[in-house]
Structure 1
Amino acid sequence: MARLASGFWVGAYLQRLRLADLPVYVTARGDAESGAVLVKLATLDGRARLFHRVTTPEGRRWDILADGPEPEVDAAIARQRGFDPDLWVLEVESRDGRHLLEEDGLAD
């Protein structure tokens, strides 16, 4: 199966979030062709969750990389960026925890 270029996927995800009235920010711009993507979900109560895409025998899916107080999640992002400078980091703000990653076209 062909993979979408990272920049293309990010652009589509940003548009979908904006259409759903979910604030989103690109906090680190990665490689447009093959950069990995992290999505930080800030629930605006001092907590956050960090998602990354994993590949399993069943296919690709989004999994939680870090979950907890926002400074701890930010530290996890900094560690990931330390060994992957081509990494995209997107931050979604949603009090009710919406991130849309499970929706068709974004989940895999």
Structure 2
Amino acid sequence: MRLKSGIWVAAYLRRCAIEGAFAVLRQRGAEDAGAIFVQIDKLDGTVALFGPAPQSLADEDTGVRLFTLIPLREPTAAAANIRLQREREFDSDLWIVDVEDREGRHFLDLAKE
């Protein structure tokens, strides 16, 4: 059983703050099970976008949320925003967290594909 999205996001925001990365909630989604997207801004004009890993890679027994790097045409905020807008059209209940970290740290559990 996974943590509710709202609880996971609150804990993630705290984790970023503890690690010295600036993180803000851009969009609040469904409290219980909204998909979570994390945009990492390296403050050099480049960004990385992470989203939920495919369900086939998830281990429901552990309750751990897995993320995967979402490919962008260009590693820019504009390209990430276009992708996020497409995701919003598909699922308006998603969460978006913006993180600023010069080292590009994301603090996420990534899926091993």
TM range (shorter): 0.7 to 0.9
Identical aligned residues as a percent: 34
Structure (1/2) with the larger strand percentage: 1
For normalisation by structure 2, the TM-score amounts to 0.82
Aligned length: 103
The question of whether the paired residues in 2 share the 8 Å contact of 1:66 and 1:76 is answered with no
The 5 A counterparts of 1:1-108 are 2-54=1-53, 55-57=55-57, 59=59, 61-67=66-72, 68-102=75-109
Secondary structure in 2 matching 1:73: helix
Structure 2, gaps ≥5 residues long: 60-64
Higher relative contact order (CA 8 A, sep 6+): 2
* Alpha-carbon shift at residue 3 of structure 1 (Å): 1.1
For normalisation by structure 1, the TM-score amounts to 0.86
**What does residue 62 of structure 2 align with?**
none
Structure 1, gaps ≥5 residues long: none
